[in-house]
Structures are given as C-alpha cells and as structure tokens.
Chain A
Amino acid sequence: MAITPQAPALPIVAPVADRRSLPSRWRLRWRGDRWGAGAALLTGIIALPLLAILFYLGQESVEWNHLAETVLVRYLTNTLILVVGVSLLVLVMGVVPAWLVTTCEFRGRRLLSWALILPLAIPTYIAAFVFYQGPEAAIPMMIKIRLRFGVEAFLLAEQVIRYGLLIVMLAAVLYPYVYLACCSAFSRQSRAVIEAARCLGDSPGRAFFRAALPMARPGIVAGVALVIMEVINDYGAVHFFGVPTLTEGIFRTWFGMGDKVAALRLAGIMMLVVAALLAVEQWLRGRARYVEADAGSIPMKRLPLRGGKAILALLACFAPVALGFLFPVGRLLHWAGLHLLSDAGSGFPAGMALVRGLGLALATAFVVTALAALFMYAVRLRESRLRRALGRIAGMGYATPGAVIAVGVLVVFGTLDRFELPLLPLVSGTLFVIAFAYMVRFFAIPLQFTRAGLERIGKPLEEASRLLGHPPLQTFLRVDLPLLRAPLIAAGMLLFVDILKELPLTLILRPANFETLATTAYSLASEARLQACAVPALLIIAVGAVGLLFMNRWLQPPLKNE
C-alpha cells in the first residue's frame, strides 16, 4: 500500500458521477454550470493583478543585459543556497519531531506536540534582528581569527557564520510547515504497514526510513514547498544578513534603477525556480502513486520510550522549539523589559488602530476561507484539467512577493479608477483594497486545506445528497461544510497569522492612519530602536501563538488508539 509503482491511482474517490446518470431535471441546470463560471470568474479576479504585472514583461528593458552580466548569477546562487540549505534543515527539524510525537510516548510529548508549531508565529524580519546578534557576538572571535590565521580564513569564517546563521534562523521559524504536514501524514498512516516492516525484521528506525517516510512523501513535499516559497519571498531577513536574493534584486532594480520590466523578469525567474523544484520532485517520484489508509484501518499505537531513548527523543523535539521560539522570545522579552523600565517606554502608539488591524486580519481570513471553500468545491464538482488549472492559477499569488502583488493591485484599481465607475470611490484606497490583496497573496493556503479536506471526505456522501435531489449549494452547506469545519477553521487561523505577520504589501496599500502590529514593529526597527520594537513584536507573536494553538486543536485528528 505504500508505494505501488506502475499501478494507476486507486479509486478511493469514485469517478465523478456521469452526467447521464443524473435525473433529467438536473441535466438542464447542469448545463448552465454556474459553479464553473463562478470559479472561473473568481480566478480571473484573483489573477488580474498578476496579469497586470505580466503585461509589463514583454516590454523593452533597459537594464536587463546589465543585470544579467553583473548581479543575476549572485542573486540566483544565493537564492539556491538558501533554498537548498533551509530545505534540508527543515526536513530534519520537522520530520524527526513529527515522527517521535506521533509514534512514540515519552514524558513531555503532549506539551511539545503543540509547542513545536509556535515558531510559525514569529515573522522572519523580527527573527532576523534577534539572530543577527549572533554575528555581532562572534566579532571578538572573528578578530582573533584574523590576527592568527589571516584575512582569507577570516573572510571564509565570516561567510560561513553569516550564511549558516541565516539558514538556521529561517529553518528555525519555518520548519513547522513541514512538522504539521508530517504529523498529519504519520497519524493517518496505517499501523499494519509499519508492523509488516517490523515483522520482516526491520528495526523501528529502518521501518521509519523504509515504510513511514516514503509513505509520507506527498505531505513532506507540500510542507517543504511552503517553506521554499517563504524563503524565496523573504526580503527583510536576507537584506539584513547581506545575502542578496532574487527578491532583493527585484526591489533594487524596480525602485533603485526604475526598470519595472527587468524587475518583473526577476520575479518571473523566481516563479520558474519554484516551478522547477516542484517539477524535479514530480520527476523523482516517477510513476509512484500514493493512497491514504481509509478511515477503517487501525491507527498506530505509540511506542513507549524509557531512559536514554526518552531523553534523546525529548531533546530532539525540544531543540527546534528552543531555537525557533524560546530563544527569540527570550531576547525580545529582555529588550521589552529594558524598554518598559526606562522612561522612554511610557506610551505605546496607536492602540485603537492596532485593534482595527486585528479586526481586518480576522475578517479577511474569514471571508477568504469561505470563498476558497466554495471555489474548491466548484473545482471538484466536475474534475477536469481546466478546473485543476484554475485552482493552480488562483493559488499563484503565494509564490509572488508581497510588494509585487501590491503594485499589481494598485495598477488594477488605478485603471478602474480612470473609468470613473459610480461605486468605485467607495472602495479604492480603503481596507477593501488591502483585503483583496491579502486574498491574492494567500489564497493558496485555504485552498490547500479545503482540497485536502474534500479529498478525505470523498464523494459518496455528496453523491447521495445530490441523488436525493438537493442542488449543489444545499449539498455543500449541509453535507460538505459541516465535515469541512476542522480544516476550514485551521486554514482560517493560519491565514489570520500570515496576514498578521505580512509586511511589504501592507506597507504599500494601507489607507491613511492604518497601523498593524507588523507595521508598528517595522517603523520602530527601522529607527534602530530595537528595545521599543520588541513590544509590538511580542504582541504579534502572542496573538499569532494563540491563533496557532487554536488551529492545532482543530487540526488534530481524533485519537482513536487509546
């Protein structure tokens, strides 16, 4: 059941009901295909800002040749170094704890199982400030290296420390994507497979590598793909650590050289990198197909660990939390303390505005998740190549830098403004614009969750409802929606946390006098006021952590093994 090479996909999902098998009055309605039209329309609306950007791609670029000759190679190498380094590290930091937490029993397991997702609440630009203390603290050692071993050794050590620390930092706050994906994959694996491996003489370790890990591959890949897109999109941390990637190149070319076309070509290359990595994975996977154990199979029983093994397991699970959450939060608490104790720490700016920021994030998360659920339902109502493509296009914003999307949204609304539509002034320049941009940027998240949820539900219930004469909308509301409650709430919460952390898009599009926690933290940090910046940073982390824990509660599959 693990990998069945050469075999076609097993139809756990029944083939879509043939149109002819439906009652005749259905056929008439079906022909209108309002769901398909709705999905296409929504895709169009979401893709509009991206298309506006693509429109510039074909135009003539003054600086492109110059870029290609000077900096392009460096941008590409840096991007690839980070992608490869962070991917490898998140595999270790995500997969191992996920395996231990789902299949073993040891002291501290329950606490760590949710603490392991907390680093996701820390924005990379804030983690960068904290981790940059590393190179700064290493300066005395660096000076010794220069004195004893010369300049070359010093420069080498400097590079290694800086790149290494940046990779560790990014991995430490991003590994939870892999951890979450693996937890869900491992906990749904059938015990029978692992037991078969054990019966055939494999040690628990070998069983992990030979059976559990290969079976979890789609989940792991999905998690790593998210990590890669976050890494490629990062702007603040790489700039701070002096590792210019394609994203930094985009801003530098666009805003510093005023060459929109060359900047967008860099963005195009960035999307190609993502596509290429995913294609490589597809190719490596070959013709293997993956089938999840159905609900009836026996879940895994946790293996109790004692003594040294329990301590090792505890350490393996604790280390990522310590690095990705406890260390940065500890440093921030120290700074916040310094700030609040000094007399400068009297006023915390814009309390009300921050509440509005939170409100916007919550409302947007809610609406976007609802739209994504309907969209995915429409896509799955009649699977086709075209509809799957719609899903892929609608999720494209996730691989596009926030600032590029912001500019695309500005172009769209600016163009619409020129037509002087009657209702538009009500909309442009308001929170609606920014909420729309969040949707373009993050639509992939609820989409993924809904897709996974609908796949798990399967078609039979829905078909029963439809055959009983309920129209699709009713079927969706009464059958699928209640079953989708857990993944939708989880998606909404993850979306909420992501919007809360979002910076570049928010900076460009926000209406006047609108502050979020992220923009407040950023203002203070760009004034080099790290102590004052620690307060809003901690608030982002606190609100985000609550959201994540809430998400985790809904994500946990019901435990049946007790």
Chain B
Amino acid sequence: MKKALFHSLLAALAALVPCSQTRAAEEITLYTQRHYEFDEAVHRLFTEKTGIVVKVVKAASDELIVRLEEEGANTPADLYMTADGGGLDRAKKAGLLQPFTSPVILEKVPATLRDPESQWVALTKRARVLIYSPARVKPGELSTYEDLADPKWRGRLVARSSSNIYNQSLMTTVIEANGAEAAGAWAAAVRKNMVRPPQGSDRDQIRAVSSGLADVAIANTYYLGLLETSEDPKDRDAAAAVKIFFPNQEGRGAHVNISGAGIVKSSKKAALATQFLEFLLSDEIQSMYAEETMEYPVSETAKWSDIQLKWGKFVADDVAFSVLGDRNAEAVRLFNEAGWE
C-alpha cells in the first residue's frame, strides 16, 4: 500500500515536470485566437515543407494579451494571431509586437490590410453582413447598417450579444462613420427592432431567419458557408432558405474585419516567424482558407471558393484597423447605454 502510494506520487510529479524534450527540431510558438481545425492542417503543411514545428496556445485575443504582458521578456511566444483587427492594434499599442521586414509581405498585402509600421499583417478577411429571407424581404428593402434603425424593421431583426467582439468591431466603424451620439441612437433603435433579446451564436441568428422567426440577421459570411457544408441536413436546409446582402455598397462599404498576426517583441526567432507569415500569405494557403474556413483571402492573386463567388464581389469599408482598437471601449459603453445586452 505504502509502496503503491509512493509510486503513484512519483508518477504524479513526473506528469508535472516541464515538457521541453522536443529540442531537436526548430520550432516557433504561436499564441492564437483562431480555433479552427483547418489551422492545424496548415501548421502541419508548414512543418512538412520547412521542418519547423509550430506549437500553439489558443485563447481569446485579450486573454492572450494579458498573458503576453505578464510573461514579459520570458514569453515563449514568437507570434500573436487574432481573429479581429482590434486585438492586433491593442497588442501593438501595448508594445508587444516588433516590426517585420519582409519584401514578400509588403508586396503581397495591400497597405490597408497591414499596420503602417509593419507590426502586424492581415491573413484573411471576414465580412459582417446582413443575412435575410428572400421570401419575406423585398429586394429594395435592404440598404445600409444605418437603415436597420428604421421602424419598418420592428420585430424583424436578430443579432447576437454585444459582448461578442464582432459586434463591438462593427460598432466602432459605425461610430467612426456617424459619430458617437448617432451610433448610440442607432444601437438603441436596432435593439428595439430585434424580435428577441440577443442570444446564441451567429449560426443561431441565421437559423432564426430560416425558421421564420426573423427576417434579417447580422452575421459573418463564413457562418453561412459552414451551414451550407454542414454534416447535418437541417443545417443545409437552413442555409438554403436565406441569402446574403452586402450593405452600404453605395457608401463606405460592408464592414470587413481581419484575422491577422504580428511577431512578438521579445521573440528571438523573428526570421522563422516571418517565414511562417510568408507561407500563410502564399496563394496556395490563401486559396485554401477561402475553400476551408470560407474567409476571404488577403492576397489579390489567390482564388475565391465557389461559395464565395456565388455570394458575389462587394465594396468593403476600408476604415483603418486602429479605429477598431481605439474605439472598442467606447463601443461597449454605447452598447451598455443602448440596452443591447
């Protein structure tokens, strides 16, 4: 009994010993907000090609910022990756990133999709659009995000909670375009027009439209793509009953957020990290993003997927991504005041 106890104690301690055996291969460590299974396949491809192993920590973007701040110079992280432009900007302003010097990246990515001081670069784009029921919404009825505040939409809208970063980022662009006061009034009016209090994920908003509860949902395009290719026939039926509308096409364009990455300031493997970023921006991988996660590629030479081509080309809002970071707290404050939960 005593011996068994001793042995199990040893085993327990052994499990807690740091696991740093894999020193042979070169490796980089990535702190990422992206929770996609497809990303793991991309990392494996990178390892096959270059022999560099990618180690990953996944958590929310702001939690990772806190972790980077607390770990300071001792952080194992080489790269910081988010699914939202505001997070990249906040990491930059917290002094957590270092500039990259890669002609490939500068050439490949349009200037609006990377930091002016080259501290981060976008990897994919995602559009936050209106998804509507063609049966109940007339063609001319939809126009802009601002129009959703019109009383004609009373009891016809759905959207998720404003705790979600995608809604917060959309709100920052509305503030930027129309001013804080108008943006606050807009949020309150949209909340009033909602058929039910905010709940669920973007996917659930789309299902609320397809099931007839609401006529229009605010959601990201790739969620519709995921429903269209789902294993569950109910999901595919739901996707078939709705359509995508890109708002503000006459004006500033539809809200586009980015998923992107920057090299961590204290990383001593900037060269490897740059190599990884260049790999992610290659047309091969960029086209795979379009196909697998339904995000839009940032490389203009990469191919869109068939589903994206079916949704059609659109005008995108090219607001600076620093706005997303700068105005985030203001956006949450306005949501709080507007009563958009």
Residues of A within 8 A of B (CB): 63, 66-67, 70-71, 74, 132, 135-136, 139-140, 142-143, 146, 151, 155, 158-159, 162, 239-242, 244, 248, 251-259, 335, 338-339, 341-342, 344-345, 349, 356, 359-360, 362-364, 366-367, 370, 403, 406-407, 410-411, 413-414, 417-418, 425-432, 435, 507-514, 519, 522-524, 526-532
Contact = CB atoms under 8 A, between A and B. Distances in A.
7 contacts: A63-B333, A66-B337, A158-B196, A241-B199, A407-B63, A430-B16, A512-B56
Contacts of B57: 510-512, 514
Nearest to B28: A512
Q: Is the interface of A mostly helix, strand, loop or mixed?
A: helix
B152 to A, nearest CB: 15
B76 interface: yes
B178 interface: no
Nearest to B155: A151
Interface string B46-72: 000000000111111011001101111
Contact of B70 (A338, A341, A411, A529): A411
Contacts of A360: 15-16
B336 A431 contact: no
B35 A522 contact: yes
B66 A407 contact: yes
What are the nearest 3 A-B pairs in CB distance?
A242-B199, A414-B70, A512-B55
A139 B231 contact: no
A417 B200 contact: no
Contacts of B337: 66, 70
Interface stretch (B110-118, B208-216, B316-324): B208-216
A28 B67 CA distance: 48
Nearest to B37: A349
Contacts of A339: 231
A411 B66 CA distance: 9
Nearest to B227: A528
Contact of A242 (B55, B66, B69, B197): B197
B176 interface: no
B198 to A, nearest CB: 5
B201 interface: yes
Looking at chain B, what size class is its interface with the partner chain? 35 or more
B333 A528 contact: no
Contacts of A253: 332
B208 A366 contact: no
Given A139-B211, A363-B11, A239 B232 contact: no
B341 interface: yes
Which of B15, B35, B67, B337 has the most CB atoms of chain A within a 10 A radius of its CB? B15
A252 B332 contact: yes
B98 interface: no
B18 A512 contact: no
B226 A527 contact: yes
Contact of B200 (A159, A240, A524): A240
A507 B59 contact: yes
B204 interface: yes
B161 A513 contact: no
Nearest to A367: B12
Nearest to A414: B70
A510 B67 CA distance: 11
Given A143-B213, A256-B332, A367-B12, A429 B230 contact: no
Nearest to B229: A344
Given A242-B199, A256-B168, 17 more contacts: A139-B208, A253-B332, A256-B332, A257-B333, A342-B231, A349-B37, A359-B15, A367-B9, A367-B13, A429-B75, A431-B19, A507-B60, A510-B57, A527-B226, A528-B203, A529-B230, A531-B232
Contacts of B37: 349, 523-524, 527, 529, 532
